[in-house]
Structure 1
Amino acid sequence: MTADASPAPALDRIRVGSAPDSWGVWFPDDDQQVPWQRFLDEVTQAGYQWIELGPYGYLPTDPARLTEETGRRGLTVSAGTIFTSLHRGPEVWDATWEHVSQVAELTRAMNAKHLVVIPSFWRDDKTAELIEPPTLTAEQWRHLSTGMERLGREVRERFGLDIVVHPHADTHIDTEENVARFLDATDSDLVSLCLDTGHYAYCGGDSVKLIETYGERIGYLHLKQVDPEILADVVKNEVPFGPAVQRGVMCEPPNGVPELGPVLTAAQNLDVDLFAIVEQDMYPCPPDQPFPIAERTRRFLRSCGA
């Protein structure tokens, strides 16, 4: 074997999985999405052992049934996902906690340890209508940081789970500047980050730099790439995230940015166990499209050592 053909070093601290998102699933129930049974069958066939719950209600919410369905396919749940608008202040706490409690209960029952927290969008991802200003006031930043700390504390105390906050396009936690501001304003013991490499690149961020700068805050990874040519047009024309996805802005690795090899190596160098869950936003998509992409993506990640 020549030096050029040597295998990539093993990334033994990285646990690779996939999510319903990679099968075009954004909603609990939608005629344009594949049935949950097909997702579970195909994610297994594609070579993944870890999955996320996806939108609450897409997979069975009865723990016994979900345990049986995942167990017989050799799948284990890594996290649940919740949506929040904590920047709006204490008045949204009760409604937020009702949603969080549902998802956290199922997540704990599946022996997962993480809740991925996605901030609310400031514009409608389908119509592009502004829901609220894209920039937070100082008071809203305080609500956001203190609310996330409270969420992290109460989720840990009541459910034994850790929250990982997901910077996301068209939310207030998006760019390098806003991610740094959020991290600097929150307690590292209570609030960690789910670094989504695609969303961070979509918003102009450098994932390797973030890992190297805020390594102790990285608690979870989502792996995806963006097509730089489509992204340039999206940014130029201020296209909202949903229509941008329909244009194919999130593309199949290794065809986009950032390069995932260096990201995974930087994550491995943190010397902590991390989930790296593949998410290629494709809503809506033809039902036969996701599986071959997922299979090729798993093969590519193995070539990176993961």
Structure 2
Amino acid sequence: MITIGSAPDSWGVWFADDPEQIDPGRFLDEVAEAGYTWIELGPVGYLPTDAQELQDQLDAHGLKVSAGTVFEHLHQPDSWDDVWQQVSTVGALTQAVGGEHIVVIPDVWRDHKTGEPKEPRELTVEQWKLMTDGMNELGKRIADEYGLKVQFHSHADSHVGYQVDIERFLAATDPAYVNLCLDTGHVAYYGGDSLDLINRFPERIGYLHLKQVDPAIRDTVLAQDLSFPEAVRRGVMIEPPAGEPDLGPILDAVGHLGRPLYGIVEQDLYPCPPDVPLPIAQRTFTYLKNCVA
């Protein structure tokens, strides 16, 4: 019931174009070499945005697409047009190459490159309502116009990171249009419990990002209030099974939900030397295939 895949993030890709990132051609070569047949598109513009060119490259590598990614800042007034402009590119491209989902990630309150604060770390009541109402509308329009399912991804350094935030978000959004991309690493980053979320909100689990955190690094990062980019540079996201949470019980619980789900490996590695990702990806693929066998 679980289809395992990977993402550009596991090759250190956070941006459409960045000199510290691996070439997209090499990513496609290596993700296929590692054994994966399913991928996410990653940041828009990293892989080709022309549907035929992208499909040709996917076909050449024996790859298929599970989802595209959009970043939202709907808690800010007058943000709709900017978010929808992303959707108009990502949704059309994802639909054209056979993807089923759009993973929506909230913008971070600290700069994703420098770690410097951009806005307050807490939303007001009014901003929460703007965000959740906006997500309901986004999910409905994406379903209506592109036939894709929206999966919301809680994220470190965003306004929806702690488990209490995730639960508040789920209570305020419509399961007909918005569900949860359960990222096991980002939940564990703030001490949350992915297994608890699966057991208490089984109908809201629409997609998985599979990763683990190094608890010692995580604890230091939180104690010193370091940014997520700094945490990643220190190695907070670690290949399984070396970190937390234990993915075996999580995959088992998800497997009993009775419906097919994607489990996409998304180990944050930005920035990393170009020879680092492939061996990790190969070991992780073998580990996860054994977990779901």
- The residue number in structure 2 matching 1:75 is 63
Q: Which residue of 1 aligns with 2:241?
A: 254
Residue-pair matches, total: 293
TM-score, normalised on structure 2?
A: 0.98
Shift of 1:124: 1.7
Q: Secondary structure at the match of 1:239?
A: coil
Whole-angstrom CA distance in 2 between matches of 1:37 and 1:82: 22
Deviations for 1:1-35, whole angstroms, at most 9, x for unmatched residues? xxxxxxxxxxxx00000000000011111111111
- Equivalent residue for 1:301, pick from 276, 288, 291: 288
For 1:72, what is the secondary structure of its paired residue?
A: helix
TM-score by length of 1: 0.94
| 1:204, distance to aligned residue in structure 2 (A) | 1.3
| Identity in percent | 55
What SS does the aligned partner of 1:86 have?
coil
1:112 equivalent in structure 2: 99
Match of 1:37 among 17, 25, 48: 25
Q: Tell me which of 245, 256, 261 is aligned to 2:232.
A: 245
Q: Which runs of 5+ in 1 are unaligned?
A: 1-12
| Residues in 1 aligned to 2:117 and 2:9: alpha-carbon distance in whole angstroms | 24
Q: Secondary structure at the match of 1:112?
A: coil
Find the structure with the greater CA-based Rg.
Answer: 1
2:253 is aligned to: 266
1:85-109: CA deviation from partner (whole Å, max 9, x where unpaired):
00113x1111111111111110011
Q: Does 1:17 align with 2:19?
A: no
Which of 168, 185, 197 is 1:210 aligned to?
A: 197
1:128 CA drift (Å): 3.1
Q: Which moved more, 1:134-143 or 1:244-253?
A: 134-143
After superposition, what is the alpha-carbon deviation per residue over 1:19-71, rounded to whole angstroms, capped at 9, x for unaligned?
00000011111111111111111101101010000011111111111111111
Answer whether contact 2:11 2:277 (CA < 8 A) is retained.
yes
42, 46, 57: which is aligned to 2:34? 46
Residues 191-230 of structure 1 aligned to structure 2 (within 5 Å) = 191-230=178-217
> What is the DSSP-based 3-state SS (H/G/I as helix, E as strand, rest coil) of the residue aligned with 2:181?
strand
Q: Which residue of 2 aligns with 1:96?
A: 83
Task: Say which SS state the counterpart of residue 292 (structure 2) adopts.
Answer: coil
Instruction: Give the 3-state SS of the residue equivalent to 1:88 in structure 2.
Output: coil
Q: Specify the SS of the correspondent of 2:208.
A: strand
* Residues 200 and 206, structure 1, Cα contact 8 Å, conserved in 2: yes
Q: 2:75 aligns with which of 57, 77, 87?
A: 87
Within 1, Cα distance between the matches of 2:115 and 2:8? 24
Rounded Cα–Cα distance in structure 1 between residues aligned with 2:256 and 2:192: 20
Q: Distance in 2 between matches of 1:281 and 1:267?
A: 23
Opposite residue 282 of structure 1, the aligned amino acid is L
